[in-house]
Structure 1
Amino acid sequence: MFVAPPGYQPVYNPSIPYVGPIYGGLRSGMSVYIQGVIPHEITSFNMNLQCGESEGSDIGFHFSPRFDNWDKVVFNSCQEGEWGSEEEIHNMPFSKGDAFEMVIFIKQEGYQVTVNGQDLHTFNYRIPVERVNALQIGGDVSIQTISIIGGGNPGDDQIGGNLPVMCGQPIYNPPVPHSSIIPGGMFLKKTIVIRGMVPLGANSFSINFMVGSSRDIVFHLNPRLQESVVVRNSLIGGSWETEEREISFNPFLEGQYFDMSIRCGNQQFKVFVNGQHMCDFIHRFQNFSEIDTLDVEGHVQISYVHF
């Protein structure tokens, strides 16, 4: 079973209101990744990056979309029970009934917010970001995934036990088709996280783990929307091998976000989507270190890749 260390383990489908820790606190270079859905009946919701999990903790960053006759998004901070001056924008990025994907980037100067891949606002620090160690979410919103990216304690991403091995900087919103080098190639316990969305009207897409020098596809993952199947295969020496189609569930649906982790084990690749084990793919190519390229193509939007 894939078990991620604190800082890499996403939270799935939390009940609202939600309060949870940010292990090790925040620092520049990290980000907070949230997927959710705005209900049709909504007044407002809020997300607070706090200096503690208890009620009344200082709030380093308060984010509050408000749906009224003057739809707006409010940003603020709160110290010792006193709210600061509000910053607001009237470019509402959320739509009633629609899914959304939000990233809060921890920059040198402040919190940079993007929604559905579009920059929204940067809120300059009023409280040292190193004090922030909790996330609170409340109001009219349904949350599917919360991830703290770049978190955990030093050494969390080293080899050992069931911990995944991840390295390199995340890639955000790459255009598709996308090709990138896998830092260090594939090896035991190496884990790759891919997050994105299947657009409406999609037919199929593929995620390929390849040997760059030969263009052999060692692991081909191919959701086919019209057939409602997820095909796995390999292409070695120019010839496709035997297809595999059995899965425990199919998470790839039109208009839906997905959160996938693919881990290299002793005998197989293990694939988890939205926190659930979807399938395994027995290795057909044993020299892991030669697998050095990730290719993504087809009808898919990719928001985040982390090696």
Structure 2
Amino acid sequence: LRPGMAIYVQGVPAPQADWFRVNLAAGPEEEADVALHLNPRFGAGVAVLNSRRGGRWGDEQRRELHPLCPGGPFEIVISVTPEGYRILVNGTFYEEFPHRLPPELVTAVNVDGDLELGSVSVLGGAVRPPKLPRPQKTTPHPKTSPSPFLTPPSPSRSSPPSRGGLLPKKTIVIKGFIPLHANRFHINLRAGPGGDVVLHLNPRMDEDDAVVRNSFLGGSWGHEERDISCCSPFLRGRYFDLSIRCGNHRFKVFAEGQPLFHFHHRVPAGPHVDVLEIEGDVVLSYVHF
């Protein structure tokens, strides 16, 4: 790790959870040094932050659990700053923890305890994927989960510039949350502001969870595509992790790391595709374009 990078963790504690932990460690071994130990303890009603070096724990830093709670989905983003770690939970500031070990020593992310682990990602920088042991205890949760921490959002829109446009082998990463009241949202890859849409991805929660794809070229919509390889990942009350990879002949789209669908290019991708739009009933967590 280094300043400017971040760790993204998303999951759901078991309804009767005692604890879970997130460790940023100097290796996958159980006895490895730990630069940051984040340990919500539901029985004690606190979250403990600490570090371990040479087998010895440092001084604990404690804070209240809220908004973490048993059975409630959470999203933790741990940003690396020059001074330490800045922690967000469910989109709001949670705590800061100073560096006690150089962040460059961190080579593994360990998450375990009483939870269903949904996603772990290292954001920013070209690094090897973190080593992720399977959670020791898991409790399934229903298809849709209540979200006690989110109010109905306003539509989200993101149009960051793209370096060099959308060339083959480039990957777009989008992470977010589908509110309980959501009907639909869309993701557009455009050739300039207001230009042609080379890929229109439109999850419709109000239409039997359809995932519609299309293009808008020369002022006209093309034919819709709807078939997907599995169930829709865009469910009310759930997080999603979407990757759109531009190939030579098609877009390859993955959800939670698994293939979702392919969309063949109707016009060549290239530098002219330089705008990403996301709009509708969605709460964005992370966008990389």
Fold shared, TM-score > 0.5 on shorter chain: yes
Structure 1 stretch 75-84 or stretch 203-212: which is displaced more?
75-84
Alignment check: 8 A CA contact 2:189 2:274 kept: yes
Alignment check: 8 A CA contact 2:204 2:211 kept: yes
Report deviation, 1:215. Answer: 1.8
Partners of 2:276 and 2:282 in 1: how far apart?
15
1:236 to 195, 214, 217: 217
Q: Does 1:131 align with 2:113?
A: no
Residue in 2 that maps onto 1:298: 280
Distance 1:235 1:140, change over 3 A: same
Residue in 1 that maps onto 2:255: 273
Alignment check: 8 A CA contact 1:73 1:92 kept: no
Structure 1's consecutive aligned runs of 4 or more residues displaced over 6 angstroms after TM superposition are none
Report deviation, 1:286. Answer: 1.4
Residue in 2 that maps onto 1:211: 191
Partners of 1:255 and 1:106 in 2: how far apart?
29
Partners of 1:79 and 1:175 in 2: how far apart?
45
Task: Indicate the SS of the match to 1:111.
Answer: strand
Partners of 1:138 and 1:189 in 2: how far apart?
33
1:108 to 72, 75, 82: 82
Report deviation, 1:107. Answer: 0.7
Alignment check: 8 A CA contact 1:65 1:92 kept: no
Distance 1:45 1:242, change over 3 A: same
Residue in 1 that maps onto 2:172: 192
Distance 1:153 1:56, change over 3 A: closer
Report deviation, 1:45. Answer: 1.2
2:117 maps to a residue whose letter is I
Query: 5+ residue gaps in structure 1?
Result: 1-25, 155-173
Query: 5+ residue gaps in structure 2?
Result: 129-153
Q: Does 1:180 align with 2:143?
A: no
The answer to which structure, 1 or 2, has the higher relative contact order (CA under 8 A, 6+ apart) is: 1
Report deviation, 1:180. Answer: 2.2
TM-score, structure 1 length as denominator?
0.81
Residues 215-235 of structure 1 show CA distances to partners (whole Å, capped at 9, x for unaligned) of: 211110001111121111111
Alignment check: 8 A CA contact 1:203 1:299 kept: yes
2:260 maps to a residue whose letter is M
2:243 to 261, 265, 269: 261
TM-score, structure 2 length as denominator?
0.86
- Matched-pair identity in %: 46
Residues 265-285 of structure 1 show CA distances to partners (whole Å, capped at 9, x for unaligned) of: 111111111111111111111
Partners of 1:52 and 1:270 in 2: how far apart?
33
Task: Indicate the SS of the match to 1:77.
Answer: strand
